[in-house]
Amino acid sequence: MAKGLLSFINGNKLVKPIYFPMYCDYRYRWSYFKKINTLSREVITTFMDNAIIDIPLIWDGGNLVSNGEYGLLTSKVIEDNPTFNRYYIERIIEDYLDVKPVIIPRQKEDVIGHVDGYASFINKKTLAISKYPNMAFLQEDNVYLEELVSQVQNSGLETIRVFDRPVDQNIRCNCKKKKRSGCYSVSKGIYINNLILNDTVILPQYSLPTKRETIFYNQANREIYEHAGYKVESVNCDLLSQFGGSLHCLSYTH
């Protein structure tokens, strides 16, 4: 499963939430994810010297982007921790990660609810936000994105838009709650789910439905980050995207 990581890096510490994805049919697999949490701890302690600090929240790593001062995440974290109220969740995040949490509503059709599918900081003052093409299946997403832009700008942050081109393809599942075969979508075409390391952006590339789209989106997004002052390295993420995540989902960064 590509979406959602097991730890956040905070300085020389690894802050480890409870990894228990609360979407699709995964909510019925507690024993499996309990094993994943145990194995991940063993891997971390074997290969890294960082101290592990447990944060008492069910929380996926993909649901946080930060500029070091503020941490942006969606309300999925509140839904996944019903025994805690919003205020308490915010205080936990602030205490453990040293960022002020800004919790925004989850797009109601997005069962995963990860903010890194829509936004990422490119520096302390600027948030990159997805811009989707005008297609029927993206209509509600486009409304959500425009509302997000307004919220961010009203908070005093600057915004730039990254050209994302989501592909209308669901991932097959065995969800017991919703009578459909695909609860969430592949992440093909989500360029904003990239990884920034110092002055370099590792940018996903995708093979989109047409050659013209593939050339445009791959090149246009490279130019956006180069214009922002970054070196850009690209990696094809066609296969990775079939599991619902991309590069930021796999990183330990926020």
pLDDT of residue 73: 95
Mean pLDDT across the stretch 100-112?
Answer: 91
Residue 85 predicted with pLDDT over 60: yes
Q: Which of 24-38, 62-76, 132-146 has the lowest mean pLDDT?
A: 24-38
pLDDT digits (tens, 9 = 90+) for 1-14: 344 445 576 666 78
pLDDT of residue 160: 96
Q: Which CATH number fits domain 8-250: 3.40.50.2300, 3.75.10.10, 3.30.43.10, 2.60.120.10?
A: 3.75.10.10
Give the residue among 98, 122, 117 at the shortest CA–CA distance from 196: 122
Structure-model confidence comparison of residues 44 and 169, the more confident one: 169
Give the residue among 115, 137, 139, 146 at the shortest CA–CA distance from 182: 137
Provide, rounded to the nearest whole percent, the portion of the chain with pLDDT above 90.
59
pLDDT of residue 225: 97
Q: Which of 1-5, 86-90, 112-116, 190-194 has the lowest mean pLDDT?
A: 1-5
DSSP state of 93: H
pLDDT of residue 56: 94
Cα separation, 27 vs 204, in Å, equals: 29
Q: Is the distance from CB of 92 to CB of 78 less than 8 angstroms?
A: no
Q: Is the distance from CB of 121 to CB of 67 less than 8 angstroms?
A: yes
DSSP state of 181: S
pLDDT digits (tens, 9 = 90+) for 166-214: 998 887 766 655 555 556 788 899 999 999 999 999 999 999 999 999 9
Q: If DSSP codes are grouped into helix, strand and coil, which group holds residue 101?
A: strand
pLDDT of residue 1: 37
pTM: 0.87
Q: Is 105 left (phi over 0), alpha (psi -120 to 50) or beta?
A: beta
Cα separation, 252 vs 189, in Å, equals: 22
Provide, rounded to the nearest whole percent, the portion of the chain with pLDDT above 70.
88
- Torsional sign, CA 215, 122, 253, 183: negative
pLDDT of residue 35: 84
Q: Which residue has the tokens 């050339």?
A: 215
Residue 95 predicted with pLDDT over 80: yes
Q: Which of 63-77, 101-115, 236-250 has the lowest mean pLDDT?
A: 236-250
Mean pLDDT across the stretch 25-53?
Answer: 77
Q: Strand 231-236 relative to strand 158-163: parallel, antiparallel, unpaired?
A: unpaired
